[in-house]
Structure 1
Amino acid sequence: MENQLLWHNFYQEINQPDEQIDLAKASLYYAQVEYPDLDVQKYLNVLDAIASEIKPQLPAKLYPLKVIQTINYHLFDCLKFQGNSQDYYNPDNSFLNRVIELKTGIPITLSVVYLAIAKRLDFPMVGIGMPGHFLIRPQFENAGIFVDAFNRGEILFKQDCQAKLNQIYQQAKLDPSLLIPVSNKHILARMLNNLKFIYLRQQNLDKALAIISGILNLFPENALEIRDRGLLYYQMNRWHEAVVDLEYFLKIFPDSKDAPTIKMLLEKMI
């Protein structure tokens, strides 16, 4: 029950049409699970203030490259936001309040800061869910440019995205679908998924379980998250809950390659 209460504000924010979801606000709401005393409005005010500082610097004609260069100068040169390459897997890199406070983060959280600023400047931008490295781009037809918020707002073209992908996955081919804008819900799920894997690496099962709750708020029928929650329940000896999740997983994904292992676990518990 307590966990459900912690996620209440987050659920309220995401339970509306995707284009109406305030990405920064939703990100701060999920951070309240880790930081229950977090004042969401305080951090939204900081984003408002940053945008207000940038607005007078914008050129009279809002050419995309000029706007991006102006945002970049203020965020990365003046305010000193930067990618946290030294401590990439620190959970704080995934909490927007800490990213705003410390002015450091990972590609997706720095992108959310950037998107929030751009939105306040009436300069529409969208998230690009490229594997291994989240990017953003202006929301204009045939804009042709992408922005890497992790690398000081580096401006990329399509061939640069291919090179970026090659750095992460050797010989990977950049399918055009990888550069299609993703929804706000998908951005939030990816942020939470990062946290989930950090907590699993740390063997912090309670926190990983809480994060899966957030992902399932976004996508209730996500079979793999239902499976993972069931496996966590199993590890935590919460067998009744594990059985419910793992049986449901088999019902909605009977042909999964994990099915034989899941069936063995269920035989042990039932």
Structure 2
Amino acid sequence: MPVDTRFTADHEFCKLLARRQDVDLIRVSLELARDAQPNLNFDHTLEWINRRSSELRSHITRLRSDRDVLNELVRCLAGTHGLHGDKDAYLRAESSYINRVIETGVGIPISLSMVYVAVAQGAGIELNGVAAPMHFLTRIDTIQGPFFINAFHAGEVLNYDDCIEWIESLSGLSSEEIERSLEPARPREVVIRMLNNLKALHVTQECWEQAWRVQCRLLALHNEAFDQRRDLALIAIKANRPGVAVDLLQKCLKDCLNKDRPMLLQQLRTAEHNLSKWN
């Protein structure tokens, strides 16, 4: 499968485009963060994670149970280093950027979980991300069954039944529906969820240039999806890219449903009007 040449500097993101599974989630998260921070140096974040993994490894060798190991991970990250969530984190794009989460100590569930996974795996702990409904978590499988860490809530550790019950209260879904979502998430699934979070925030806050960059990545990952192409066209208008918007809208009109045609035609007229001001 050919790789989108716009992202050739983003080696891990290119692996996703090629549908590879050997993706370093911290590095690909930093590649997303670099869209908003062009001079971002990955080394500072990677070194911080390596130090935390070494710190954790030195403490868990004497522990006997997996639950004790998880508690030590939480003590290290939430306790000693103060990683946590708060409600205002959802209103700040930086709470999705791994480097800023480490610098500020504050993140949203998925970004905090990615730090937990990276530190844990660096210390030899098989922790994985879980794209649960409403709230991203991490999971470890033990002989006592799976345990989950809610990194957003100061690293709260939940057993399987408690996790199901808690997500039921959040989502209103049945336990059967929730169970299917508690398996380890694939890298592609994690990155798409991160991008969708950023897209929703940028659109709500009318940060159109940032929304454009995020939507370009979403379309690259879903290059045949009509809704992603349509959204890129609509964002292009807001981001002062009328020429691109015209091209995209003309393509969308070839494939759209009848119910979408009036809206797309109206947006096409807007894009053409804006383009005429440039000529």
Normalization by structure 2: what TM-score?
A: 0.82
Secondary structure, counterpart of 1:131 in structure 2: coil
Query: 2:93 maps to what in 1?
Result: 91
Q: Confirm or deny: 8 A CA contact 1:94 1:105 kept in the other structure.
A: yes
User: Matches of 2:109 and 2:254 in 1, distance apart?
Assistant: 36
Displacement, 1:230? Answer: 1.1
1:45 matches 2:44: no
Q: 1:234 to 1:157 in 2, by over 3 A?
A: same
Query: 1:150 maps to what in 2?
Result: 152
Query: 1:204 maps to what in 2?
Result: 207
Q: Confirm or deny: 8 A CA contact 2:89 2:108 kept in the other structure.
A: no
Aligned residue runs from structure 1 range 57-206, under 5 A: 57-60=59-62, 63-138=65-140, 143-169=145-171, 171-174=172-175, 175=177, 176-206=179-209
Q: Confirm or deny: 8 A CA contact 2:145 2:160 kept in the other structure.
A: no
Q: Confirm or deny: 8 A CA contact 1:209 1:232 kept in the other structure.
A: yes
User: Matches of 1:163 and 1:251 in 2, distance apart?
Assistant: 46
Secondary structure, counterpart of 1:179 in structure 2: coil
User: Matches of 2:264 and 2:165 in 1, distance apart?
Assistant: 39
Secondary structure, counterpart of 2:91 in structure 1: coil
User: Matches of 2:196 and 2:209 in 1, distance apart?
Assistant: 15
Structure 1 window deviating more from structure 2 (122-131 vs 255-264): it is 255-264
Larger Rg: 2
Q: 1:161 to 1:37 in 2, by over 3 A?
A: same
Displacement, 1:19? Answer: 3.1
User: Matches of 2:262 and 2:162 in 1, distance apart?
Assistant: 42
Query: 2:12 maps to what in 1?
Result: 13
Q: Confirm or deny: 8 A CA contact 1:231 1:242 kept in the other structure.
A: yes
Displacement, 1:247? Answer: 4.4
Displacement, 1:143? Answer: 3.5
Q: 1:250 to 1:121 in 2, by over 3 A?
A: farther
User: Matches of 1:143 and 1:80 in 2, distance apart?
Assistant: 28
Q: Confirm or deny: 8 A CA contact 1:18 1:183 kept in the other structure.
A: no
Pick the aligned partner of 1:213 from 213, 216, 236.
Answer: 216
Secondary structure, counterpart of 2:247 in structure 1: helix
Identity percentage of aligned residues: 28
Please tell me the residue identity of whatever aligns with 1:9: A
Structure 1 unaligned segments of length 5 or more: list them: none
Structure 1 window deviating more from structure 2 (173-182 vs 37-46): it is 173-182
Count residues in correspondence. Answer: 263
User: Matches of 1:127 and 1:250 in 2, distance apart?
Assistant: 38
Normalization by structure 1: what TM-score?
A: 0.85
Displacement, 1:120? Answer: 0.4
Query: 1:227 maps to what in 2?
Result: 230
User: Matches of 1:96 and 1:52 in 2, distance apart?
Assistant: 19
Q: Confirm or deny: 8 A CA contact 1:196 1:212 kept in the other structure.
A: yes
Please tell me the residue identity of whatever aligns with 1:131: P
Query: 2:276 maps to what in 1?
Result: none
Q: What's the RMSD between the two structures over aligned residues? A: 2.7
